[in-house]
């Protein structure tokens, strides 16, 4: 038997007015906690993924050092500032990305368990947000474990100035929200397609490149620069890290934060619209 | 010979099976192109502002990159199912391969077909044609023979190492991340003149993991840059043989590890 769940059967956020928004906090805390522990329990493979990150940072440092031979400053960045940029951008990009959540969503949809998620008193989208936050805690812990190795493989350095640090933190938070929204939308593709592994891999590559993890976006030539500017990925990594190393500062930095804020609003609308459509597509097999 | 004929029939059936899923075929092919092309996009972008990496200009690097891709495609086309060895073992499916009258490795290789290999072949061929047209390579008959042998040798060097690492799945059951790491090492270290990583890393990537033999050493020979190499010229000309030796070594590791196979018990 096939059951189609319409909007009436699923909680769509229209809770009674008397309900306090804080009521669900223990539920979110529970999801965050269990996701954190699950990710930490399956750590065997994470060390290999961390090894890839460390090697990538090492390779980029060596290649960029070779590229800088005969140059002192390129595009307003000294070799040291560029290496700090590359190290931090890759570390941050790694810590904030978690492909396992989109796979988790995909499996819930494919195996029909999404029906249980939908009838829970807490909305589906906030549940997935909680999962993402939980796994981010885990990846931050892994990132901290890797930090001594990254210190040797790459170049860590202080921010350009105290102001740069403050702006970096604000930009980092906005970048985290953008990444989370993008990951959520990627996972929602599970409602349309029966195979997302190819899509996830493609997303990872496009994101890594256009986020500026390999090359700062400011060094992209003409057309590629325009593509990078109209995509949201540079707002997740390039913006905060370029602020950190002082490549973007003052009024430019505030403008960049504004662009990030616009992306947050746009992506909230986009993911909300996508979710409305996804809900109409839920088909639960069996029963 | 008849074994090879059976293997070829199985491989064709696996490919036809995958072609049934048209959308997935297109997405996977595109993914293969994006995956292999993304490293080249990096080289293209950085050489826009800078002109050389370790003395190699854009045409040299494009040639090196395309040579690595060709070797990788030649390795991945037949060996793509090695990626699924650990799942096969965990689910006890390796039992079947052991009771059928054909080499278990050949059965694993022809079990399914990973469609993004087609994307790899397309990217490799297109990039090689482009790189060959801009690189300063003298395509004399001797060089062409060396090129063909070097691509096969490079594929064998990569396959041998991946086979050895993947066969650890017979003991450790979950090895996809280790295999993914090896794949990334070939992709990342193999795409640049290895000397830029320093003498120690260059040595490791030559004698511990045979990355340099896949493309860097053959490309140095064909671009007549052997005087910049960290190894003797004789070894550089013999790169295809070293690939073959690595494959034999990898296959021996596989044969030793197969003995540790325990079925899933259910």
ipTM score:
0.83
Angle between helices B58-79 and B22-49 (to 10 degrees): 160
Q: Is B178 on the interface with A (CB under 8 A)?
A: yes
For residue A36, pLDDT beyond 80: yes
How many Cβ atoms are within 10 Å of A48's Cβ, its own excluded? 18
**What residue in A sits closest to B198 (Cα-Cα)?**
A62
Q: Chain A closest CA to B200's CA: distance in Å?
A: 13
Residues of A with CB under 8 A from a CB of B: 44-49, 51-52, 55-56, 58-59, 62-63, 65-68, 71, 74-75, 193, 195, 198-199, 201-202, 205-206, 208-209, 214-215, 219-221, 224
A73 three-class SS: strand
The minimal CB distance from B45 to the residues A56, A199, A221 is found for A221
Choose, out of B29, B33, B35, B49, the residue to mutate when testing the contact with A (most A CBs < 10 Å). B49
Between B92 and A194, residue with greater pLDDT: B92
Mean pLDDT of chain B: 87
Closest among A131, A244, A122 to A187, alpha carbons compared: A131
For residue A97, name the pLDDT band (cuts at 50, 70, 90). confident
Contacts of B208 (CB under 8 A, 6+ apart): none
Q: How far apart are CA B262 and CA B146, in angstroms?
A: 43
Between B266 and A23, residue with greater pLDDT: A23
A78 three-class SS: strand
For residue A179, name the pLDDT band (cuts at 50, 70, 90). very high
B180 three-class SS: helix
pLDDT in tens, B49-59: 888 898 899 99
Q: Is B22 on the interface with A (CB under 8 A)?
A: no
* pTM flag (> 0.80): yes
Closest among A241, A229, A235 to A169, alpha carbons compared: A241
φ and ψ at residue A93, rounded to 5 degrees: -60, -40
Return the pLDDT at A257: 96
Choose, out of A46, A58, A63, A68, the residue to mutate when testing the contact with B (most B CBs < 10 Å). A63
pLDDT in tens, B77-132: 888 888 888 888 888 888 888 888 888 888 888 877 777 788 888 889 999 999 99
The minimal CB distance from A209 to the residues B41, B116, B178 is found for B41
A74 three-class SS: strand
Across residues B169-198, what is the average pLDDT? 87
Could you give the C-alpha distances from A194 to A108, A110, A165, A178, B18, in angstroms and in order? 12, 7, 43, 25, 15
pLDDT in tens, A51-88: 989 999 999 999 999 999 888 888 889 999 999 999 99
Mean pLDDT of chain A: 85
pLDDT in tens, B225-247: 888 788 888 888 888 999 999 99
Q: How far apart are CA B88 and CA A161, in angstroms?
A: 54
Q: How far apart are CA A14 and CA A135, in angstroms?
A: 28
For residue A202, name the pLDDT band (cuts at 50, 70, 90). confident
For residue A232, pLDDT beyond 90: yes
Could you give the C-alpha distances from B163 to A168, B109, B182, in angstroms and in order? 45, 11, 11
Q: Is B185 on the interface with A (CB under 8 A)?
A: yes
Q: How far is CA B39 from the centre of its chain?
A: 15
Q: Is B48 on the interface with A (CB under 8 A)?
A: yes
Across residues B60-65, what is the average pLDDT? 94
A77 three-class SS: strand
Between A142 and A101, residue with greater pLDDT: A142
Across residues A4-27, what is the average pLDDT? 57
Which of A34-48, A74-88, A180-194, B141-155 is the least confident region? Answer: A34-48
Across residues A191-210, what is the average pLDDT? 82
A229 three-class SS: helix
Q: Is B53 on the interface with A (CB under 8 A)?
A: yes
Q: Are the beta carbons of B205 and B194 closer than 8 angstroms?
A: yes
Cross-strand partners of A78 = A73
H-type alpha helices, B50-198: 58-79, 85-90, 94-99, 104-109, 116-134, 141-166, 169-172, 176-189
Return the pLDDT at A181: 93
- Cα dihedral A105, A110, A112, A115, rounded to 10, equals 40
Q: How far apart are CA A135 and CA A36, in angstroms?
A: 5
């Amino acid at each position: 038997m096939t059951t189609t769940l319409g909007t009436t059967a699923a909680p769509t956020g229209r809770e009674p007015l008397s309900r306090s928004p804080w009521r669900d906090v223990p539920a979110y805390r529970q999801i965050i906690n269990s996701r954190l522990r699950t990710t930490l329990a399956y750590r065997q493979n994470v060390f290999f993924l961390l090894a890839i990150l460390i090697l990538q940072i090492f390779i980029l440092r060596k290649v960029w050092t070779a590229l800088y031979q005969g140059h002192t400053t390129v595009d307003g960045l000294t070799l040291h500032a560029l290496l700090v940029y590359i190290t931090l951008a890759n570390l941050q990009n790694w810590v904030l990305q978690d492909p396992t959540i989109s796979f988790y969503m995909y499996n819930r949809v494919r195996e029909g368990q999404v029906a249980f998620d939908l009838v829970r008193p807490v909305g589906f989208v906030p549940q997935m947000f909680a999962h993402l936050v939980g796994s981010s805690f885990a990846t931050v812990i892994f990132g901290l474990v890797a930090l001594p190795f990254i210190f040797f493989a790459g170049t860590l350095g202080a921010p350009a100035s105290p102001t740069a640090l403050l702006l970096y933190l604000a930009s980092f938070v906005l970048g985290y929200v953008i990444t989370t929204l993008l990951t959520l939308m990627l996972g929602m593709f599970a409602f349309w397609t029966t195979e997302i592994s190819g899509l996830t891999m493609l997303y990872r590559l496009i994101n890594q490149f256009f986020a500026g993890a390999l090359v700062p976006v400011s060094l992209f030539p003409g057309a590629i620069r325009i593509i990078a500017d109209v995509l949201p990925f540079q707002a997740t990594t390039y913006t905060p890290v370029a602020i950190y190393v002082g490549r973007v500062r003052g009024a430019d930095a505030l403008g960049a934060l504004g662009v990030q804020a616009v992306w947050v609003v746009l992506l909230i609308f986009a993911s909300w619209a996508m979710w409305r459509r996804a809900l109409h597509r839920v088909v639960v097999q069996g029963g | 010979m008849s074994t090879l004929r059976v293997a070829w029939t199985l491989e064709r059936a696996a490919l036809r099976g995958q072609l049934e899923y048209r959308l997935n075929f297109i997405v996977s092919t595109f993914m293969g192109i994006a995956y292999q092309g993304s490293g080249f996009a990096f080289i293209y972008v950085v050489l826009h502002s800078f002109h050389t990496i370790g003395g190699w200009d854009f045409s040299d690097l494009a040639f090196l990159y395309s040579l690595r891709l060709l070797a990788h495609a030649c390795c991945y086309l037949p060996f793509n199912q090695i990626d699924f060895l650990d799942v096969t073992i965990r689910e006890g499916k390796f039992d079947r391969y052991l009771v059928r009258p054909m080499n278990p490795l050949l059965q694993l290789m022809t079990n399914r077909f990973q469609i993004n290999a087609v994307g790899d072949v397309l990217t490799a061929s297109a990039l090689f044609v482009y790189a060959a047209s801009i690189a300063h390579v003298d395509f004399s008959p001797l060089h062409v023979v060396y090129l063909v042998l070097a691509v096969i040798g490079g594929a064998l060097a990569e396959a041998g190492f991946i086979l050895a690492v993947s066969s650890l799945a017979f003991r450790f059951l979950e090895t996809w991340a280790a295999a993914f790491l090896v794949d990334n090492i070939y992709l990342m270290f193999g795409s640049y003149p290895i000397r830029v990583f320093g003498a120690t890393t260059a040595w490791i990537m030559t004698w511990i993991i045979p990355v340099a033999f896949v493309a860097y050493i053959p490309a140095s020979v064909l671009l007549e840059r052997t005087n910049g190499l960290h190894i003797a010229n004789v070894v550089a000309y013999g790169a295809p043989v070293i690939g073959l030796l690595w494959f034999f070594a990898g296959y021996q590791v596989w044969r030793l590890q197969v003995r540790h196979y325990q079925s899933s018990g259910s």
